[in-house]
Amino acid sequence: MARPTMAPLRIGIPLLLGLLLAVARVPPSVASDPNTFAKPNWDMYNSYDNTMQRVADMVARNPKTMRMRTVTASSIEGSYKARMPLVVVEPGGLSSGTVPADKLRVFYNFGEHGREIITTELALRVLEMLESVETLTTRIKFHEKFHEIIAQYYKTVFYIVPVENEGGRHKVEAGELCERKNGRGVDTNRNWELDWGVKERDYDPSEEYPGNFPYSEPEAFVLHAELAAFKPHVWVNVHSGMEALFMPYDHKREIPSGSDASQLYHMLEMLNRWHCKSKCAVGSGGKEVGYRAHGTATDTIYTQLGVPMVMTWEVYGVTSAHYDDCFRMFNPTDRHAFDELLDRWGQAFFAVLPLASSHNGVQSQMQRDRVVPTSAFYERSDAVLQVTRTVEPKVQTGSSTEGGNHQAVYRLRGDPTPSYTKLPSYLGSHNFHQTFRNMPPTRIQPKRQEEEDIAHRDDALGRRGGGARMRVAHAFDHLQLQTVAVWAMGTFAIGTMLTSRRSSGPKRRVG
Protein backbone atom coordinates (compact mmCIF):
# COMPACT_ATOMS: atom_id res chain seq x y z
CA MET A 1 0.00 0.00 0.00
CA ALA A 2 1.67 3.17 -1.12
CA ARG A 3 -1.05 5.78 -1.09
CA PRO A 4 -3.90 6.66 1.22
CA THR A 5 -7.10 5.44 -0.34
CA MET A 6 -9.41 8.13 -1.69
CA ALA A 7 -12.25 5.99 -2.89
CA PRO A 8 -14.92 7.50 -0.59
CA LEU A 9 -14.46 10.87 -2.23
CA ARG A 10 -14.61 9.75 -5.80
CA ILE A 11 -18.18 10.57 -6.68
CA GLY A 12 -18.99 14.15 -7.42
CA ILE A 13 -15.73 15.61 -6.27
CA PRO A 14 -15.67 19.34 -6.83
CA LEU A 15 -12.91 20.40 -9.18
CA LEU A 16 -11.05 22.29 -6.49
CA LEU A 17 -11.02 19.33 -4.13
CA GLY A 18 -9.89 17.13 -6.99
CA LEU A 19 -6.97 19.41 -7.65
CA LEU A 20 -6.06 19.45 -3.99
CA LEU A 21 -6.10 15.67 -3.88
CA ALA A 22 -3.95 15.49 -6.99
CA VAL A 23 -1.39 17.66 -5.27
CA ALA A 24 -1.71 15.79 -1.97
CA ARG A 25 -0.92 12.53 -3.74
CA VAL A 26 2.74 13.42 -3.83
CA PRO A 27 3.93 15.05 -0.64
CA PRO A 28 6.20 17.99 -1.44
CA SER A 29 9.05 16.41 0.52
CA VAL A 30 9.21 13.50 -1.92
CA ALA A 31 11.67 13.97 -4.75
CA SER A 32 9.92 13.87 -8.11
CA ASP A 33 13.00 14.32 -10.25
CA PRO A 34 13.54 10.99 -12.05
CA ASN A 35 17.28 11.54 -11.81
CA THR A 36 17.07 11.10 -8.06
CA PHE A 37 15.10 7.84 -8.20
CA ALA A 38 16.90 4.90 -6.60
CA LYS A 39 18.55 2.24 -8.74
CA PRO A 40 19.59 -1.24 -7.67
CA ASN A 41 23.15 -1.62 -6.47
CA TRP A 42 24.23 -4.91 -8.04
CA ASP A 43 27.12 -5.22 -5.62
CA MET A 44 24.56 -5.56 -2.85
CA TYR A 45 21.78 -7.38 -4.72
CA ASN A 46 22.25 -10.58 -6.69
CA SER A 47 21.21 -10.63 -10.32
CA TYR A 48 18.82 -13.39 -11.36
CA ASP A 49 21.68 -15.39 -12.88
CA ASN A 50 23.82 -14.96 -9.77
CA THR A 51 20.93 -16.04 -7.58
CA MET A 52 20.35 -19.20 -9.58
CA GLN A 53 24.06 -20.01 -9.56
CA ARG A 54 24.26 -19.59 -5.80
CA VAL A 55 21.21 -21.77 -5.26
CA ALA A 56 22.55 -24.48 -7.58
CA ASP A 57 25.92 -24.42 -5.79
CA MET A 58 24.26 -24.71 -2.41
CA VAL A 59 22.17 -27.68 -3.52
CA ALA A 60 25.23 -29.36 -5.06
CA ARG A 61 27.15 -28.95 -1.78
CA ASN A 62 24.32 -30.61 0.20
CA PRO A 63 23.07 -33.65 -1.70
CA LYS A 64 21.88 -35.36 1.48
CA THR A 65 19.55 -32.56 2.54
CA MET A 66 18.78 -30.47 -0.55
CA ARG A 67 17.23 -31.21 -3.90
CA MET A 68 16.31 -28.88 -6.74
CA ARG A 69 14.00 -29.19 -9.72
CA THR A 70 13.42 -26.62 -12.40
CA VAL A 71 9.92 -26.76 -13.78
CA THR A 72 9.16 -25.26 -17.16
CA ALA A 73 5.64 -24.64 -18.34
CA SER A 74 3.95 -22.87 -21.19
CA SER A 75 0.61 -21.18 -21.57
CA ILE A 76 -2.23 -22.86 -23.39
CA GLU A 77 -1.46 -21.25 -26.74
CA GLY A 78 2.20 -21.95 -26.21
CA SER A 79 3.37 -18.39 -26.76
CA TYR A 80 4.48 -17.71 -23.19
CA LYS A 81 6.86 -19.83 -21.20
CA ALA A 82 7.95 -19.71 -17.59
CA ARG A 83 10.66 -21.47 -15.66
CA MET A 84 10.56 -21.97 -11.93
CA PRO A 85 13.25 -23.38 -9.66
CA LEU A 86 11.94 -25.41 -6.72
CA VAL A 87 14.22 -26.33 -3.84
CA VAL A 88 13.33 -29.00 -1.32
CA VAL A 89 15.30 -29.06 1.94
CA GLU A 90 15.04 -31.71 4.63
CA PRO A 91 17.57 -30.99 7.37
CA GLY A 92 16.93 -34.45 8.82
CA GLY A 93 17.93 -36.08 5.51
CA LEU A 94 16.02 -36.22 2.22
CA SER A 95 13.25 -38.80 2.20
CA SER A 96 13.58 -41.15 -0.74
CA GLY A 97 9.95 -42.18 -0.89
CA THR A 98 7.07 -40.86 1.14
CA VAL A 99 7.75 -37.86 3.33
CA PRO A 100 7.15 -39.13 6.88
CA ALA A 101 3.75 -38.04 8.12
CA ASP A 102 5.15 -36.58 11.34
CA LYS A 103 7.25 -34.04 9.45
CA LEU A 104 6.06 -30.47 9.21
CA ARG A 105 5.75 -29.27 5.60
CA VAL A 106 6.37 -25.58 4.93
CA PHE A 107 6.24 -23.82 1.56
CA TYR A 108 7.99 -20.45 1.23
CA ASN A 109 7.39 -18.47 -1.95
CA PHE A 110 9.57 -15.52 -2.99
CA GLY A 111 9.86 -13.21 -5.97
CA GLU A 112 6.23 -13.24 -7.06
CA HIS A 113 6.40 -9.62 -8.13
CA GLY A 114 9.27 -8.47 -10.31
CA ARG A 115 10.16 -5.22 -8.55
CA GLU A 116 10.24 -6.75 -5.03
CA ILE A 117 13.73 -8.11 -5.45
CA ILE A 118 14.58 -7.93 -1.74
CA THR A 119 12.33 -10.95 -1.28
CA THR A 120 14.66 -13.12 -3.35
CA GLU A 121 17.61 -11.94 -1.24
CA LEU A 122 15.62 -13.22 1.71
CA ALA A 123 15.20 -16.59 -0.03
CA LEU A 124 18.98 -16.83 -0.34
CA ARG A 125 19.33 -16.00 3.34
CA VAL A 126 16.85 -18.71 4.34
CA LEU A 127 18.67 -21.26 2.17
CA GLU A 128 22.00 -20.29 3.76
CA MET A 129 20.47 -20.81 7.19
CA LEU A 130 19.21 -24.19 6.00
CA GLU A 131 22.61 -25.20 4.68
CA SER A 132 24.12 -25.85 8.07
CA VAL A 133 22.81 -25.99 11.59
CA GLU A 134 25.91 -23.99 12.66
CA THR A 135 24.83 -21.05 10.50
CA LEU A 136 21.29 -21.38 11.74
CA THR A 137 22.42 -21.52 15.36
CA THR A 138 24.52 -18.37 14.96
CA ARG A 139 21.69 -16.48 13.33
CA ILE A 140 18.96 -17.38 15.84
CA LYS A 141 20.97 -17.78 19.05
CA PHE A 142 19.15 -14.92 20.80
CA HIS A 143 15.68 -15.95 19.72
CA GLU A 144 13.38 -16.70 22.63
CA LYS A 145 12.19 -19.85 20.83
CA PHE A 146 15.73 -21.03 20.06
CA HIS A 147 15.43 -24.53 21.52
CA GLU A 148 11.99 -25.18 20.06
CA ILE A 149 13.20 -24.02 16.63
CA ILE A 150 16.21 -26.34 16.63
CA ALA A 151 14.07 -29.26 17.79
CA GLN A 152 11.52 -28.73 15.03
CA TYR A 153 14.14 -27.96 12.36
CA TYR A 154 15.06 -31.63 11.90
CA LYS A 155 11.41 -32.62 11.62
CA THR A 156 10.54 -30.21 8.82
CA VAL A 157 10.48 -30.35 5.02
CA PHE A 158 11.05 -26.94 3.42
CA TYR A 159 9.81 -26.25 -0.09
CA ILE A 160 11.30 -23.02 -1.40
CA VAL A 161 10.67 -21.05 -4.59
CA PRO A 162 13.39 -18.36 -4.69
CA VAL A 163 11.99 -16.57 -7.78
CA GLU A 164 8.46 -17.30 -8.87
CA ASN A 165 8.34 -14.66 -11.57
CA GLU A 166 11.45 -14.87 -13.72
CA GLY A 167 9.88 -12.92 -16.60
CA GLY A 168 9.03 -9.89 -14.46
CA ARG A 169 12.40 -10.09 -12.76
CA HIS A 170 14.23 -9.90 -16.10
CA LYS A 171 12.27 -6.76 -16.98
CA VAL A 172 13.31 -5.16 -13.70
CA GLU A 173 16.93 -6.06 -14.33
CA ALA A 174 16.61 -4.49 -17.79
CA GLY A 175 15.63 -1.21 -16.13
CA GLU A 176 11.84 -1.39 -15.83
CA LEU A 177 12.04 -0.89 -12.08
CA CYS A 178 8.27 -0.57 -11.59
CA GLU A 179 7.42 -3.92 -13.21
CA ARG A 180 5.34 -6.05 -10.86
CA LYS A 181 3.62 -8.49 -13.21
CA ASN A 182 4.96 -11.48 -15.12
CA GLY A 183 6.77 -11.56 -18.45
CA ARG A 184 3.57 -10.83 -20.35
CA GLY A 185 1.84 -8.33 -18.11
CA VAL A 186 -0.29 -10.50 -15.84
CA ASP A 187 -0.25 -10.23 -12.04
CA THR A 188 0.17 -13.87 -11.08
CA ASN A 189 -1.21 -13.07 -7.62
CA ARG A 190 -4.58 -12.24 -9.24
CA ASN A 191 -4.58 -15.29 -11.52
CA TRP A 192 -5.83 -17.84 -8.96
CA GLU A 193 -9.26 -19.28 -8.86
CA LEU A 194 -11.05 -18.02 -5.78
CA ASP A 195 -13.03 -14.87 -6.63
CA TRP A 196 -10.99 -14.51 -9.82
CA GLY A 197 -11.65 -11.52 -12.08
CA VAL A 198 -13.69 -9.46 -9.61
CA LYS A 199 -12.84 -5.78 -10.05
CA GLU A 200 -12.88 -3.16 -7.36
CA ARG A 201 -13.70 0.45 -8.22
CA ASP A 202 -10.02 1.32 -7.99
CA TYR A 203 -8.94 -1.65 -10.11
CA ASP A 204 -5.76 -0.73 -11.94
CA PRO A 205 -4.85 -3.07 -14.81
CA SER A 206 -1.31 -1.73 -14.99
CA GLU A 207 -0.80 -3.08 -11.46
CA GLU A 208 -3.05 -6.12 -11.17
CA TYR A 209 -4.33 -7.38 -14.52
CA PRO A 210 -5.56 -10.91 -13.64
CA GLY A 211 -5.16 -12.65 -17.02
CA ASN A 212 -7.83 -14.16 -19.25
CA PHE A 213 -8.91 -16.95 -16.91
CA PRO A 214 -7.70 -18.58 -13.67
CA TYR A 215 -4.31 -20.28 -14.03
CA SER A 216 -3.86 -18.87 -17.54
CA GLU A 217 -0.32 -18.07 -16.39
CA PRO A 218 2.24 -20.85 -16.11
CA GLU A 219 3.61 -19.35 -12.88
CA ALA A 220 0.28 -19.69 -11.09
CA PHE A 221 -0.46 -23.03 -12.72
CA VAL A 222 2.84 -24.57 -11.64
CA LEU A 223 2.56 -23.27 -8.08
CA HIS A 224 -0.97 -24.62 -7.81
CA ALA A 225 0.11 -28.05 -9.06
CA GLU A 226 3.12 -28.15 -6.71
CA LEU A 227 1.04 -27.10 -3.73
CA ALA A 228 -1.65 -29.67 -4.51
CA ALA A 229 1.03 -32.36 -4.52
CA PHE A 230 3.08 -31.19 -1.55
CA LYS A 231 0.11 -30.25 0.63
CA PRO A 232 1.97 -27.92 2.97
CA HIS A 233 0.88 -27.15 6.49
CA VAL A 234 2.29 -23.65 6.13
CA TRP A 235 2.41 -21.33 3.13
CA VAL A 236 4.17 -17.97 3.27
CA ASN A 237 4.02 -15.69 0.25
CA VAL A 238 6.77 -13.10 0.66
CA HIS A 239 6.32 -9.58 -0.68
CA SER A 240 7.47 -6.00 -0.14
CA GLY A 241 5.95 -2.54 -0.39
CA MET A 242 4.91 -2.18 3.24
CA GLU A 243 5.44 -3.93 6.58
CA ALA A 244 2.67 -6.38 7.29
CA LEU A 245 1.75 -9.88 8.37
CA PHE A 246 -1.39 -10.90 6.54
CA MET A 247 -3.66 -13.91 6.68
CA PRO A 248 -6.82 -14.61 4.66
CA TYR A 249 -8.94 -13.11 3.38
CA ASP A 250 -7.67 -10.83 0.64
CA HIS A 251 -11.05 -10.50 -1.05
CA LYS A 252 -12.98 -9.65 2.14
CA ARG A 253 -12.25 -7.25 4.95
CA GLU A 254 -12.25 -9.96 7.61
CA ILE A 255 -10.37 -13.00 8.81
CA PRO A 256 -11.97 -16.44 8.57
CA SER A 257 -14.14 -17.53 11.47
CA GLY A 258 -13.14 -20.34 13.80
CA SER A 259 -10.50 -21.05 16.40
CA ASP A 260 -7.80 -22.14 13.92
CA ALA A 261 -7.91 -18.73 12.27
CA SER A 262 -7.82 -16.84 15.55
CA GLN A 263 -4.89 -18.98 16.64
CA LEU A 264 -3.09 -17.98 13.45
CA TYR A 265 -3.92 -14.34 14.14
CA HIS A 266 -2.27 -14.54 17.56
CA MET A 267 0.77 -16.18 15.99
CA LEU A 268 1.05 -13.26 13.57
CA GLU A 269 1.04 -10.93 16.56
CA MET A 270 3.95 -12.87 18.03
CA LEU A 271 5.87 -12.71 14.75
CA ASN A 272 5.15 -8.98 14.68
CA ARG A 273 6.81 -8.54 18.09
CA TRP A 274 9.76 -10.76 17.31
CA HIS A 275 10.51 -9.80 13.72
CA CYS A 276 8.72 -6.59 12.77
CA LYS A 277 9.45 -4.39 15.80
CA SER A 278 5.65 -4.39 16.35
CA LYS A 279 5.37 -2.12 13.30
CA CYS A 280 3.59 -4.55 11.00
CA ALA A 281 -0.06 -4.29 10.08
CA VAL A 282 -1.59 -7.59 11.25
CA GLY A 283 -4.79 -9.23 10.08
CA SER A 284 -6.69 -9.98 6.92
CA GLY A 285 -5.03 -8.68 3.74
CA GLY A 286 -8.34 -7.31 2.48
CA LYS A 287 -8.76 -5.13 5.56
CA GLU A 288 -5.23 -4.09 6.45
CA VAL A 289 -3.67 -3.43 3.04
CA GLY A 290 -6.20 -0.76 2.15
CA TYR A 291 -7.69 -2.48 -0.91
CA ARG A 292 -9.40 -5.77 -1.58
CA ALA A 293 -7.69 -8.23 -3.93
CA HIS A 294 -9.40 -10.99 -5.88
CA GLY A 295 -8.02 -14.22 -7.31
CA THR A 296 -5.04 -14.24 -4.95
CA ALA A 297 -2.87 -17.23 -4.12
CA THR A 298 -3.53 -16.85 -0.41
CA ASP A 299 -7.31 -17.02 -0.60
CA THR A 300 -7.31 -19.94 -3.03
CA ILE A 301 -4.75 -21.92 -1.07
CA TYR A 302 -6.58 -21.38 2.18
CA THR A 303 -10.09 -22.00 0.88
CA GLN A 304 -9.60 -24.66 -1.78
CA LEU A 305 -6.42 -26.49 -0.82
CA GLY A 306 -7.18 -26.41 2.89
CA VAL A 307 -3.72 -25.32 4.02
CA PRO A 308 -4.15 -24.45 7.71
CA MET A 309 -1.54 -21.67 8.04
CA VAL A 310 -1.62 -19.32 5.06
CA MET A 311 0.23 -16.02 5.27
CA THR A 312 1.49 -13.11 3.21
CA TRP A 313 4.47 -11.31 4.69
CA GLU A 314 5.33 -7.79 3.56
CA VAL A 315 8.89 -7.30 4.70
CA TYR A 316 9.78 -3.76 3.68
CA GLY A 317 8.31 -0.61 2.19
CA VAL A 318 8.89 3.10 1.85
CA THR A 319 5.30 4.18 1.43
CA SER A 320 6.29 7.84 1.13
CA ALA A 321 8.41 7.24 -1.97
CA HIS A 322 7.35 8.91 -5.21
CA TYR A 323 4.96 6.82 -7.31
CA ASP A 324 7.63 6.25 -9.94
CA ASP A 325 10.52 5.73 -7.51
CA CYS A 326 9.77 2.04 -7.34
CA PHE A 327 13.11 0.62 -6.38
CA ARG A 328 13.12 2.82 -3.27
CA MET A 329 9.49 2.01 -2.52
CA PHE A 330 10.02 -1.76 -2.49
CA ASN A 331 13.68 -2.40 -1.63
CA PRO A 332 16.25 -1.15 0.88
CA THR A 333 18.87 1.03 -0.76
CA ASP A 334 21.54 1.18 1.92
CA ARG A 335 23.67 -1.62 3.25
CA HIS A 336 22.68 -1.24 6.87
CA ALA A 337 18.93 -1.50 6.17
CA PHE A 338 19.56 -4.38 3.78
CA ASP A 339 21.59 -6.43 6.28
CA GLU A 340 19.29 -5.62 9.18
CA LEU A 341 16.23 -6.71 7.20
CA LEU A 342 17.77 -10.03 6.15
CA ASP A 343 18.85 -10.75 9.70
CA ARG A 344 15.50 -9.91 11.27
CA TRP A 345 13.16 -11.49 8.71
CA GLY A 346 15.48 -14.43 7.96
CA GLN A 347 14.85 -15.63 11.51
CA ALA A 348 11.09 -15.34 11.11
CA PHE A 349 11.00 -18.28 8.68
CA PHE A 350 12.35 -20.45 11.48
CA ALA A 351 10.27 -18.92 14.27
CA VAL A 352 7.30 -20.26 12.31
CA LEU A 353 8.34 -23.86 12.99
CA PRO A 354 7.42 -24.17 16.68
CA LEU A 355 4.32 -22.02 16.11
CA ALA A 356 3.15 -24.33 13.35
CA SER A 357 3.77 -27.50 15.30
CA SER A 358 1.45 -26.20 18.02
CA HIS A 359 -1.28 -24.99 15.64
CA ASN A 360 -4.47 -27.04 15.99
CA GLY A 361 -5.21 -27.08 12.26
CA VAL A 362 -1.69 -28.33 11.50
CA GLN A 363 -1.93 -30.99 14.16
CA SER A 364 -5.18 -32.39 12.85
CA GLN A 365 -3.83 -32.48 9.31
CA MET A 366 -0.79 -34.38 10.54
CA GLN A 367 -3.10 -36.86 12.18
CA ARG A 368 -4.82 -37.46 8.84
CA ASP A 369 -1.43 -37.79 7.13
CA ARG A 370 -0.49 -40.63 9.43
CA VAL A 371 -3.33 -42.60 7.93
CA VAL A 372 -2.64 -41.81 4.28
CA PRO A 373 0.51 -39.96 3.23
CA THR A 374 -0.06 -36.97 1.03
CA SER A 375 2.36 -37.93 -1.71
CA ALA A 376 4.59 -40.91 -2.39
CA PHE A 377 7.01 -42.21 -5.00
CA TYR A 378 7.41 -45.88 -5.81
CA GLU A 379 9.95 -47.34 -8.17
CA ARG A 380 10.49 -50.64 -9.90
CA SER A 381 13.05 -51.53 -12.52
CA ASP A 382 10.93 -50.53 -15.52
CA ALA A 383 8.57 -47.89 -14.12
CA VAL A 384 7.88 -45.22 -11.52
CA LEU A 385 4.67 -44.28 -9.73
CA GLN A 386 3.73 -41.06 -7.98
CA VAL A 387 0.62 -41.07 -5.83
CA THR A 388 -0.83 -37.76 -4.71
CA ARG A 389 -3.72 -37.36 -2.38
CA THR A 390 -6.13 -34.86 -3.90
CA VAL A 391 -8.97 -34.96 -1.41
CA GLU A 392 -8.61 -35.36 2.33
CA PRO A 393 -9.73 -38.71 3.66
CA LYS A 394 -11.98 -38.92 6.65
CA VAL A 395 -9.84 -40.36 9.37
CA GLN A 396 -10.81 -43.88 10.39
CA THR A 397 -9.34 -46.21 12.95
CA GLY A 398 -6.38 -48.37 12.10
CA SER A 399 -4.98 -48.11 8.60
CA SER A 400 -8.17 -47.90 6.58
CA THR A 401 -9.61 -44.66 5.29
CA GLU A 402 -12.72 -43.56 3.58
CA GLY A 403 -13.70 -40.72 1.31
CA GLY A 404 -10.26 -39.60 0.12
CA ASN A 405 -9.21 -39.37 -3.51
CA HIS A 406 -5.85 -40.01 -5.04
CA GLN A 407 -4.23 -39.33 -8.33
CA ALA A 408 -1.65 -41.79 -9.51
CA VAL A 409 0.83 -41.02 -12.25
CA TYR A 410 2.61 -44.04 -13.69
CA ARG A 411 5.38 -43.86 -16.20
CA LEU A 412 7.47 -46.45 -17.93
CA ARG A 413 11.13 -45.51 -17.72
CA GLY A 414 12.24 -43.97 -21.01
CA ASP A 415 8.73 -42.91 -22.01
CA PRO A 416 8.03 -39.21 -21.40
CA THR A 417 4.23 -39.56 -21.40
CA PRO A 418 2.68 -40.65 -18.15
CA SER A 419 -0.49 -42.57 -17.60
CA TYR A 420 -3.06 -41.12 -15.23
CA THR A 421 -5.25 -43.33 -13.15
CA LYS A 422 -7.71 -42.52 -10.46
CA LEU A 423 -7.36 -45.03 -7.69
CA PRO A 424 -10.12 -46.32 -5.47
CA SER A 425 -10.40 -44.21 -2.38
CA TYR A 426 -10.27 -47.08 0.08
CA LEU A 427 -6.72 -48.06 -0.87
CA GLY A 428 -3.97 -47.08 1.52
CA SER A 429 -0.47 -46.26 0.33
CA HIS A 430 0.65 -49.80 1.05
CA ASN A 431 -1.96 -51.06 -1.39
CA PHE A 432 -0.83 -48.60 -4.07
CA HIS A 433 2.61 -50.06 -3.80
CA GLN A 434 1.37 -53.65 -3.95
CA THR A 435 -0.81 -52.93 -6.97
CA PHE A 436 2.05 -51.16 -8.70
CA ARG A 437 4.53 -53.97 -8.05
CA ASN A 438 2.26 -56.51 -9.70
CA MET A 439 0.97 -54.37 -12.54
CA PRO A 440 1.81 -55.63 -16.04
CA PRO A 441 3.74 -53.12 -18.19
CA THR A 442 0.85 -52.96 -20.66
CA ARG A 443 -1.31 -51.37 -17.97
CA ILE A 444 1.28 -48.68 -17.42
CA GLN A 445 1.38 -47.91 -21.13
CA PRO A 446 0.20 -44.32 -21.52
CA LYS A 447 -3.25 -43.56 -22.80
CA ARG A 448 -2.69 -41.37 -25.81
CA GLN A 449 -6.01 -39.57 -25.96
CA GLU A 450 -5.63 -36.14 -24.49
CA GLU A 451 -9.30 -36.00 -23.54
CA GLU A 452 -8.75 -38.79 -21.12
CA ASP A 453 -5.98 -36.88 -19.45
CA ILE A 454 -8.25 -33.88 -19.14
CA ALA A 455 -10.99 -36.01 -17.66
CA HIS A 456 -8.63 -37.43 -15.06
CA ARG A 457 -7.27 -34.06 -14.17
CA ASP A 458 -10.84 -32.80 -13.86
CA ASP A 459 -11.68 -35.68 -11.60
CA ALA A 460 -8.69 -34.96 -9.47
CA LEU A 461 -9.64 -31.33 -9.04
CA GLY A 462 -13.34 -31.90 -8.93
CA ARG A 463 -14.18 -29.77 -11.96
CA ARG A 464 -15.79 -30.18 -15.31
CA GLY A 465 -15.38 -28.65 -18.72
CA GLY A 466 -12.67 -28.48 -21.31
CA GLY A 467 -10.78 -25.95 -23.34
CA ALA A 468 -7.64 -24.35 -22.14
CA ARG A 469 -4.82 -26.65 -21.32
CA MET A 470 -1.25 -26.35 -20.47
CA ARG A 471 1.61 -28.74 -20.44
CA VAL A 472 4.10 -28.79 -17.64
CA ALA A 473 7.35 -30.67 -17.88
CA HIS A 474 9.00 -31.69 -14.63
CA ALA A 475 12.55 -32.90 -14.47
CA PHE A 476 12.95 -34.81 -11.23
CA ASP A 477 16.65 -34.93 -10.64
CA HIS A 478 16.69 -38.35 -9.08
CA LEU A 479 13.81 -40.13 -10.79
CA GLN A 480 13.75 -38.46 -14.18
CA LEU A 481 10.00 -38.65 -13.92
CA GLN A 482 8.24 -36.73 -16.65
CA THR A 483 4.81 -35.48 -15.72
CA VAL A 484 2.37 -33.89 -18.10
CA ALA A 485 -0.37 -32.10 -16.23
CA VAL A 486 -3.41 -30.96 -18.11
CA TRP A 487 -5.63 -28.22 -16.88
CA ALA A 488 -9.14 -27.85 -18.20
CA MET A 489 -11.29 -24.79 -17.83
CA GLY A 490 -15.02 -24.63 -17.99
CA THR A 491 -16.88 -21.42 -18.40
CA PHE A 492 -14.11 -19.24 -17.06
CA ALA A 493 -12.44 -18.42 -20.36
CA ILE A 494 -13.55 -14.83 -20.60
CA GLY A 495 -12.11 -12.04 -22.69
CA THR A 496 -9.80 -9.41 -21.35
CA MET A 497 -11.07 -6.86 -18.94
CA LEU A 498 -8.66 -4.05 -19.52
CA THR A 499 -11.30 -1.34 -19.40
CA SER A 500 -11.65 0.15 -15.98
CA ARG A 501 -12.74 3.22 -14.18
CA ARG A 502 -9.70 4.70 -12.66
CA SER A 503 -11.15 7.25 -10.40
CA SER A 504 -8.94 7.59 -7.36
CA GLY A 505 -5.26 8.33 -7.17
CA PRO A 506 -2.94 5.60 -8.41
CA LYS A 507 -1.72 3.15 -5.79
CA ARG A 508 1.10 0.70 -6.09
CA ARG A 509 -0.05 -2.78 -5.10
CA VAL A 510 2.03 -4.79 -2.68
CA GLY A 511 0.56 -8.26 -2.14
Q: Residue 200 or residue 458: which is nearer to Zn ion going by CB?
A: 200
> Minimum distance between the CB of residue 165 and Zn ion, rounded to whole angstroms?
10
> Minimum distance between the CB of residue 422 and Zn ion, rounded to whole angstroms?
37
> Minimum distance between the CB of residue 163 and Zn ion, rounded to whole angstroms?
13
| Rounded-to-integer distance, Cα 393 and Cα 426, Å | 9
> Minimum distance between the CB of residue 217 and Zn ion, rounded to whole angstroms?
15
Residues 376-435 that bind Zn ion (CB under 5 A): none
Decide if residue 115 touches Zn ion (CB under 5 A): no
User: CB under 5 A: which stretch of 69-77, 105-113, 156-164, 366-374 binds Zn ion?
Assistant: 105-113
| Rounded-to-integer distance, Cα 357 and Cα 364, Å | 10
| Rounded-to-integer distance, Cα 353 and Cα 132, Å | 17
User: CB under 5 A: which stretch of 36-44, 112-120, 132-140, 151-159 binds Zn ion?
Assistant: 112-120
CA neighbours closer than 13 Å in the CB half-sphere of residue 360: 9
Q: In what order do the strands lie in the sheet with 309-316?
A: 281-284, 242-247, 309-316, 234-239, 104-109, 156-161, 81-89, 66-74, 472-473
> Minimum distance between the CB of residue 237 and Zn ion, rounded to whole angstroms?
8
Q: Which residues pair with 157 in a beta bridge?
A: 105
Residues 54-73 that bind Zn ion (CB under 5 A): none
> Minimum distance between the CB of residue 180 and Zn ion, rounded to whole angstroms?
7
Decide if residue 239 touches Zn ion (CB under 5 A): yes
**240: which DSSP letter?**
-
Decide if residue 113 touches Zn ion (CB under 5 A): yes
Q: Residue 315 or residue 460: which is nearer to Zn ion going by CB?
A: 315
Quick check: bond before 209 cis, omega within 30? no
List the catalytic residue out of 166, 243, 314, 392.
314
Closest CA to 168 of 237, 220, 204: 220
User: CB under 5 A: which stretch of 108-116, 336-344, 432-440, 459-467 binds Zn ion?
Assistant: 108-116
Total residues binding Zn ion (CB under 5 A): 2
CA neighbours closer than 13 Å in the CB half-sphere of residue 241: 26
Q: Residue 113 or residue 433: which is nearer to Zn ion going by CB?
A: 113
> Minimum distance between the CB of residue 254 and Zn ion, rounded to whole angstroms?
22
Residues 294-333 that bind Zn ion (CB under 5 A): none
Q: Is the dihedral of CA 31, 510, 6, 287 positive or negative?
A: negative
The alpha carbon torsion through 387, 390, 395, 400 (nearest 10 deg) reads -30
Confirm if 227 and 253 have CB atoms less than 8 A apart: no
Q: Residue 108 or residue 410: which is nearer to Zn ion going by CB?
A: 108
Q: Residue 227 or residue 242: which is nearer to Zn ion going by CB?
A: 242
Confirm if 214 and 292 have CB atoms less than 8 A apart: no
Confirm if 14 and 498 have CB atoms less than 8 A apart: no
**402: which DSSP letter?**
B
Q: CA angle 338-339-342, nearest 5°?
A: 90
Closest CA to 1 of 287, 295, 345: 287
Closest CA to 486 of 503, 468, 499: 468
CA neighbours closer than 13 Å in the CB half-sphere of residue 108: 27
User: CB under 5 A: which stretch of 236-244, 247-255, 295-303, 417-425 binds Zn ion?
Assistant: 236-244
| Rounded-to-integer distance, Cα 328 and Cα 38, Å | 5
Residues 157-196 that bind Zn ion (CB under 5 A): none
Q: Residue 180 or residue 359: which is nearer to Zn ion going by CB?
A: 180
Decide if residue 368 touches Zn ion (CB under 5 A): no
Q: DSSP letters along 105-128, please?
A: EEEEE---STT-THHHHHHHHHHH
User: CB under 5 A: which stretch of 137-145, 233-241, 412-420, 438-446 binds Zn ion?
Assistant: 233-241
Q: Residue 224 or residue 239: which is nearer to Zn ion going by CB?
A: 239
Q: Residue 58 or residue 342: which is nearer to Zn ion going by CB?
A: 342
Q: Residue 202 or residue 369: which is nearer to Zn ion going by CB?
A: 202
User: CB under 5 A: which stretch of 34-42, 59-67, 109-117, 474-482 binds Zn ion?
Assistant: 109-117
User: Is there a catalytic annotation at residue 314?
Assistant: yes
Q: DSSP letters along 32-55, please?
A: --GGGS----TTTSPPHHHHHHHH
> Minimum distance between the CB of residue 252 and Zn ion, rounded to whole angstroms?
19
> Minimum distance between the CB of residue 482 and Zn ion, rounded to whole angstroms?
32
Cα distances from 155 to residues 95, 152, 162, in angstroms, run: 11, 5, 22
Q: Among all residues, which ones are annotated catalytic?
A: 314
Residues that bind Zn ion (CB under 5 A): 113, 239
